[in-house]
A and B are shown apart, each in its own frame.
Chain A
């Protein structure tokens, strides 16, 4: 009986966590001031924003300075600096200049 109750609680809890992970993090937008590429990660600095965006996926390499992006991620801090570990990122406008 105990096994079944715990199993059901686990499943329900996981579904609740999945729901939370899809709804809690809000999408933000910003224009790219500069991009740094190092050690399998990309660091993006935004205009008018001191928070760094960290991306661990090399498929975003085609982003460039001046592009406007929409992103969602987990807040983190490293050596006193605020960072966002990016989970989702979309390109809104390409900088054509």
Chain B
């Protein structure tokens, strides 16, 4: 029993730590964890529990730096704008509670979605795989067409991100996604916050008041969209949230935060089922699992139980950390925190990817800032992953 509890606790602690580090995505953490030599000596179940607990906890916690510090990873990038609005109105803790509510919906929906998923995917996947490149192109057209402000600017940003992605992935650097995504989503947002001289007001800590009817749209969007994005490569939670909000109709900012929270957690959870069904890893955590073992039904059951337990511990943990942050955030200079985070991210990039990585970080920060100045959706920057993926999947 103890050999099951220890990896669970260590996984939750690791997920809390990685979730709180600004700009660091769980994909990177999972892959880095695998590169540790001693990992290969541990039993399979221990590793499965550790990786699942870390990944699920991370999806709950990673909204804290996104909302309070404006420093997201690519899955929480879209949460910055509504989250930041809440923060500037003294309601940062409320924003986090909404994303947690979403994550809770995701865990509940999981048991509805998984049986349908297990029934449908083996029947449809061979066709989907053949059409993957075209499906992704259709989704890109959908994302650009639904840009409200300027479709030309949206297209420009998407292709700019695509070219920077293609160039970076062809460079001779380890972990090319680290500087690529940190620049596009993390440092660009932080530089913009410093430039805007953001002052954070005192935060209110009160009960969440939400009409139950307001939960219907984000719940439906989560159930329909998360499974699709769980097996399409290059699509993350942010894109799923855009597609989901278009399918269900206009969402208010509270509903959008709930949707982001739920999709972030559900995409991660379903990625393990996708791995079991079609042996494809669509998240870093699923990839890490695929490198450890070929998933059996018993492994999948272990993962599902770990998801449930980790979620039930991650919710009160997130609430406690958010409450503490909300209490003190106005007393600290936001600009000083932002500069510290910027320095921290730069050191991480230089350590893992060297000067070439730093060059990528600088250029992708310019691209991210261009997207902010153009006032287009940040999700379009995922062109950096989508364009190389489309090129890979097209049959010519």
Measuring CB to CB, which residues of chain A are less than 8 angstroms from any residue of chain B? 2-3, 6-7, 9-11, 13-14, 16-18, 20-21, 24-25, 39, 73-80, 87
Q: Is B163 an interface residue (CB 8 A)?
A: yes
- B315 close to chain A: CB less than 8 A: no
Closest 8 CB pairs of A and B: A13-B363, A17-B167, A21-B170, A25-B172, A80-B37, A6-B370, A9-B366, A3-B373
List the A side residues contacting B370 at CB < 8 Å: 3, 6-7, 10
Contact A3 B374 (CB under 8 A): yes
CB distance from A4 to the nearest CB of B (A): 9
Chain A residues near B35 (CB, 8 Å)?
77-80
Which residue of the partner chain, among B168, B174, B360, B374, contacts A76 with CB atoms under 8 Å? B174
The reply to whether B173 and A78 contact each other, CB–CB distance below 8 Å, is no
Q: Which residues of the other chain, A, contact B248 by a CB distance below 8 angstroms?
A: none
User: Of B40, B174, B291, B374, which is within 8 A of A77 by CB?
Assistant: B174
Q: Which of B34, B360, B367 has the most CB of A within 10 A?
A: B367
Cα A7 to Cα B279 with chains together (Å): 40
Q: Which chain A positions have C-beta within 8 A of B164? A: 10, 13-14, 17
State the Cβ distance, A41 to closest chain B Cβ, in Å.
12
Interface status of B171 (Cβ within 8 A of chain A): yes
A13 touches B37 (CB 8 A): no
Taking chain B's interface residues, is the majority helix, strand, or loop, or is none over half, making it mixed? helix
21 pairs from A and B in contact (CB 8 Å cutoff): A6-B373, A10-B363, A10-B367, A10-B370, A11-B160, A13-B362, A14-B363, A14-B367, A17-B360, A18-B167, A21-B170, A24-B171, A25-B171, A74-B170, A74-B173, A74-B176, A76-B174, A79-B37, A79-B291, A80-B40, A87-B170
Residue numbers in B under 8 Å from A73 (CB-CB): 172
Interface residues, chain B, with chain A CB atoms under 8 Å away: 34-35, 37, 39-40, 160, 163-164, 167-168, 170-174, 176, 279, 291, 356, 359-360, 362-363, 366-367, 369-370, 373-374
Task: Give the distance to chain A from B88, nearest Cβ to Cβ, in Å.
Answer: 22
Contact yes or no, A16 B363, CB < 8 A: yes
Question: Inside 8 A of B163's CB, which chain A residues have their CB?
Answer: 14, 18
Which residues from B are CB-within-8-Å of A17? 164, 167-168, 171, 359-360, 363
Contact indicator B167/A14 (Cβ below 8 Å) = yes
Contacts of A80 in B (CB 8 A): 35, 37, 40
In the complex, what residues of B have CB within 8 A of residue A3's CB? Answer: 370, 373-374
Question: Apart from A6-B373, A14-B160, what are 10 other A-B pairs with CB-CB below 8 Å?
Answer: A13-B164, A14-B167, A14-B363, A16-B359, A17-B359, A18-B167, A20-B167, A78-B291, A79-B35, A80-B35
Whole-angstrom distance between the alpha carbons of A25 and B363 in the complex?
A: 20
CB-based contact A79/B363 at 8 Å: no
Known contacts A20-B359, A74-B171, A77-B174; A6 and B34 CB within 8 A of each other: no
Task: Name A79's closest neighbour in chain B (CB-CB).
Answer: B40
Tell me the smallest distance from the CB of B78 to a CB of chain A, in Å: 21
Q: Which residues of B contact A76 (CB under 8 A)?
A: 174
Determine the residue in chain A with the shortest Cβ distance to B364: A13
Bound: A11/B160 CA distance, A:
8
Q: Whose C-beta in chain A lies nearest to the C-beta of B156?
A: A7
CA distance A57 to B172 in the complex (A): 18
Known: A17-B167, A39-B279, A76-B174. A6 touches B366 (CB 8 A): yes
Contacting residues, chain A, for B39 (C-beta < 8 A): 79
Shortest Cβ distance from B290 into A: residue? A39
Q: Which residues of B contact A39 (CB under 8 A)?
A: 279
Instruction: Specify which chain B residues have a CB less than 8 angstroms from the CB of A78 in the assembled complex.
Output: 34-35, 291
| Distance, CA A91 to CA B318, complexed state (A) | 55
Residue of A nearest to B164 (CB): A14
Q: What residue in chain B is nearest A19 (Cβ atoms)?
A: B167
Given the complex of chains A and B, what is the CA–CA distance between A73 and B167 in angstroms? 13
Rounded to whole angstroms, the CA-CA distance of A14 and B373 in the bound complex is 18
